[in-house]
Structure 1
Amino acid sequence: MDWEAPADAWYIWIGVSIASVAIAGVVIGLPSGAPPDADGVAHGIDRVSGNPYEASAEHGYDADRLRVEAGTLVELENEHGTASETLAYDPIVLVGDDHERLQNVTQGTDLEDEFADEFAANDRDDAIATILERVDETAAETDGEWHDASSELTVRTLTIDPDRYGDGDDWSVAADSRHVQTIDDREQYTITIVDP
C-alpha cells in the first residue's frame, strides 16, 4: 500500500497555492517600520527634568505627532503605530505654536528678557506669578492635544528662585505644572518646558 501523494497531484498544487497566499498575506500585513521611540524621547526629557540645576537639551526623534497627558505621559505617533512612555520626573509643559513666548524661553531666551513687559509693569513677585499662571494655562491648553512633531525636541528646565526674582510671597504653589522644592528653608519652582 502506497501512502505517499504524487507531487504532481492537483490537490497538492492547490494546497501549496493556498499556503503561499496565506504566507504572502501575513508578510504583507506586517508593518514595514517601527513605531516611534517613545522610550528614547521620555529618557531625553527625564535627563533634563531630573537635573537639580537649570538645564536644556535637544533630542532627535522620528514621529509625525506628539502629545503629553497629565504632564507625565508622552505619546508619539507615526504611520507605523503609536508608542507611549511615562516620565520618571516632574510634570512637563508642552508648548505649542500658539505659545511663542514660552517657545522662545524653551529655545534659550532668558525669562526676564522674554517677559520684560511683565517685569517692567509689576514688582518681581507679581511678574513671576503672572508667568507661572501663563505656564499653567499653557499646560491646561496643551494637555492631551496632539501636536505636529518636528525631528528634534527641545527640553529646558527653569528654576525660579525667590532670591533672584523676589520674596515669593505671592506665588501660588497649587499648580500641577510646577514642582516646589525647599532649599535652605526657601521654596523655589522648577518648571520643565518642551517644544516639540
Structure 2
Amino acid sequence: MFDVPLDSWYVWFGLAVVSSATVGVAGTLPSSPPPDAAGGAQTIDSVAASDRPAVGKHPLSNAESVRIGTSSLSLRGGGEISHEALRYGPVTPAGADDRLQSVLRGSHPDKQFDTPAAFAEAAEAARTEQPQWYTTDELVVRRVIWEGTDVVLAG
C-alpha cells in the first residue's frame, strides 16, 4: 500500500541525484592527511628550550613546503595548510641567508662571520624579514651559542 513502485521515473531520478551527490562529496575529500605542524613545532621548541647548543631534525613527509616565522611554523601539503605556534623563541629563519644556512647545516659561526656581533646582526635581520615558503623534506633546527650570542636557527 505504501510501497513505491520501482518502475516509476521519479524513483530512478532521485536515486541518480543522490548517487551524483555522493560521488561529488567523495571526490572532494583529501587524499592524504594534512601536514604535521605540531611535530615540527615540538622539534623547534625542544631545541630552543635547551640551555646548551643542540640540533634537532624532523622529517616533513606530508608537507610540500614550509614557512618558519619567529614564533610560528606553517606547513603546506595536500591542498591544506597547518599552523602551529612556538612556545620558545624567537626563532631565526635561516632560509634566505646563505651564511646562516651554512651555520644551520653545521658550520661553525666563526667560519661565516667575522665577529659574534656580526652573527647576531645577521640573525636579527633574518628575524625581521617576512617569512617565505620553502620547499624541503626535512626541518633542521640548531641552537648556536658563540661568545655570548645565542641564536636558534631553523630551516
Gaps of 5+ in 2: none
Count of residues in correspondence between the two structures: 154
How much does 1:189 deviate? 4.2
- Which residue matches 1:157? 143
What is aligned with 1:128?
Answer: 116
Offset, 1:12? 1.0
Quick check: 2:31–2:78 contact (8 Å CA) kept in 1? Answer: no
Q: Does the aligned pair in 2 maintain the 1:34–1:80 contact within 8 Å?
A: no
Residues 74, 84 of structure 2: 8 Å contact kept: yes
Match of 1:10 in 2: 9
Alignment of 1:9-158 (within 5 A): 9-62=8-61, 63-69=63-69, 71-96=70-95, 98-115=96-113, 118=114, 127-141=115-129, 143-146=130-133, 148-158=134-144
C-alpha deviation, 1:64, in angstroms? 2.0
Residue 36 of structure 1 aligns to a residue in which SS? coil
Identity of aligned residues (%): 30
Three-state SS of the structure 2 residue aligned to 1:144 is coil
Distance 1:80 1:34, change over 3 A: farther
For structure 1, list consecutive stretches of 5 or more residues without a partner in the other structure. 119-126, 166-187
Distance 1:145 1:107 in 2: 19
Q: Is the 8 A contact 2:58 2:140 kept in 1?
A: yes
Secondary structure of the 1:155 match is strand
Distance in 2 between residues matched to 1:190 and 1:86, nearest whole Å: 21
What is the aligned-residue RMSD (CA, Å)?
1.5
| TM-score using structure 2 length | 0.91
- Please report the TM-score for the alignment, with normalisation by the length of structure 1: 0.73
* Separation of aligned partners in 2, 1:149 and 1:94: 14
Conserved? CA contact 1:93–1:192, under 8 Å: yes
